[in-house]
Amino acid sequence: MRIDASTRALVTGASKGIGRALAEALAARGAAVGLAARGADEAQAAALGGRAIALPCDVADAASVQGAVERFAAEAGGLDLVIANAGVAHYGRFESQDPELHERMTRINWLGTVHTARAALPHLRAGGGGHLAIVSSGAGLRAFPEAAVYGATKAAQRAFAEALRHELAGSGVSVTTVFPGEIVSSLHDHEKATMPAWYHGDERAAPASELAAAVLAGIEADKRRVAYPREVSLLALNAVAPGLVDRLLRRLRGPSAAPRR
Ligand SMILES: NC(=O)c1ccc[n+]([C@@H]2O[C@H](COP(=O)([O-])OP(=O)(O)OC[C@H]3O[C@@H](n4cnc5c(N)ncnc54)[C@H](OP(=O)(O)O)[C@@H]3O)[C@@H](O)[C@H]2O)c1
């Protein structure tokens, strides 16, 4: 698909971070943009220009996402592109983590993606050539210690998107999975002091605007996957050579990234 002033795009998790950068990149192309997030408001929409619509919603609640999608499609006159990006992260050792955080990540990251896809697909199909992009993570290719449940939600998104892309063959609708590496955002603001040793932090993270540009180019080229920074795609080797990836990660991120030898 081409992304231009005729495109009607909805981004979940568009109030901050990567979703915000995606919304800005879409608005810069002249697209009508729906900003879906719990904290989405009129001021955020106004800052993106006249064609942006604030869609306050909770992706963990199927009816709430459905309402946001229906409202956007009605106001924009249809729906061409949906980016399921909303997500939360809670790092820490599995056994000492509050089980409520496990359920929260599952409800928002994984079930939120399912709810978003379910609500969006009928509209994308109706347009005849729509696109769904799902923001997973490098952690969906190779999960990291102290992020076991987070990684599991990201791997669930990857598996879902892979199957859906094939399932939608011939429908005109396509699916791209996005694998960000470390990107500047608010994702870890609540746990900056307790991040695992293998985490590099914002100093070495890539700007969200660069990821957003790569995502839009990947959607236009109907790429199966967009990994950014590009070296994140090396984590996919984990499926066939996990020992090799462990050695690579130990060298790049230190022993905490792969402590078991
Ligand atoms: N930053 C990274 O290094 C990185 C790396 C790999 C993958 N990712 C993935 O990228 C995606 C975006 O994260 P980010 O880094 O941009 O984090 P962020 O700056 O914290 O933004 C997260 C966005 O998700 C929204 N959100 C959270 N819970 C929601 C809910 N229940 N319903 C609707 N919206 C919700 C937030 O808005 P409200 O709080 O207003 O609802 C916010 O707009 C996530 O899926 C994350 O896993 C990020």
Residues counted in the chain: 261
DSSP-derived letter for residue 198 is T
What is the maximal distance between C-alpha atoms in the chain? 56
Residue 42: per-residue pLDDT = 96
Look at residue 154 in the predicted model and tell me its pLDDT.
99
Confidence at residue 203, expressed as pLDDT on a 0 to 100 scale: 82
Rounded CA separation 243/66 (Å) = 43
Which residue intervals of 29-182 are DSSP H helices?
42-47, 62-76, 99-105, 112-127, 148-167
Q: Is 186 in the pocket of ligand 1 (CB under 6 A)?
A: yes
Average pLDDT per block of 10 residues along the chain, 261 residues long: 97 98 98 98 93 97 98 98 98 98 98 99 95 98 98 99 98 98 97 94 92 98 98 98 98 97 91
Measure 261 CA to ligand 1 centroid, in angstroms: 33
Residue 201 has a pLDDT of 83
- Could you tell me which residues are beta bridge partners of residue 178? 135, 226
How many whole angstroms from 157 Cα to the centroid of ligand 1? 14
Q: Assess whether the C-beta atom of 130 lies below 6 angstroms from ligand 1.
A: no
pLDDT of residue 140: 98
Q: What is the distance between the alpha carbons of residues 254 and 214, in angstroms, rounded to a whole number?
A: 28
Long-range contacts of 119-125 (CB under 8 A, 24+ apart): 119/62, 119/65, 119/66, 119/68, 119/69, 119/70, 120/10, 120/69, 120/79, 120/82, 121/173, 123/69, 123/73, 123/78, 123/79, 124/79, 124/80, 124/82, 124/173, 125/171, 125/172, 125/173
Q: What does the alpha-carbon distance between residue 241 and residue 255 come to, in Å, rounded to a whole number? A: 18
pTM over 0.85: yes
Calculate the CA dihedral of residues 138, 143, 144, 146 and round it to 10 degrees. 120
228 has catalytic annotation: no
Residue 103 CA, ligand 1 centroid: distance in Å? 16
pLDDT at 8: 98
On whether the CB atoms of residues 65 and 112 are closer than 8 A, the answer is yes
| Runs of H (alpha helix) within the chain | 17-28, 42-47, 62-76, 99-105, 112-127, 148-167, 208-220, 242-253
CA distance 179 to 216: 13
